[in-house]
Amino acid sequence: SGAAIGLFMAFGLYGYVSGGMPARFGANPIRTAYLDSAKASPKRDLCHSYPGHMVAPADACQFFVEGGDVAVFGDSHAITLSMGMARVLEPEGTRNLAVLREPLCALIPAGAR
């Protein structure tokens, strides 16, 4: 039992140190380029609400100019998705994209919680 636990711990440590054992997939330049392109939104820290740092709707993260056309409601994933949406919508003429982020995406009135 102790040996099995030690073996699993060693395997987990190896996976952590090697960055998830990337060699298990083999060489694939498309996958490498795709994974290298995955980046967090530069506005993540500014937009991210959490207890002690709540972002009011009036202070929602803004892309482009003030007074927007599009609002994104969601949890922490909305921040990262909104950056990509902003890049796609800008050439379409969208003036603004505002991110209204709520922990766990709980779109429940504050008094009802």
10-46 per-position pLDDT tens digit = 999 998 888 877 777 777 788 778 777 777 667 666 7
d(CA 96, CA 69) in angstroms, rounded, equals: 5
pLDDT band, very low/low/confident/very high, at 72 (cuts 50, 70, 90): confident
Query: What's the pLDDT score for residue 7?
Result: 94
What is the phi-psi region of residue 37: left when phi exceeds 0, alpha when psi lies from -120 to 50, beta otherwise? Answer: alpha
- What average pLDDT is seen over the chain? 72
The pTM for the full model equals 0.44
Spatial distance between the Cα atoms of 72 and 97, rounded to a whole number of angstroms: 7
Give me the pLDDT at residue 28, please.
Answer: 78
The CA distances from residue 49 to 12, 58, 71, 80, in Å, are 32, 13, 16, 13
DSSP 50: B
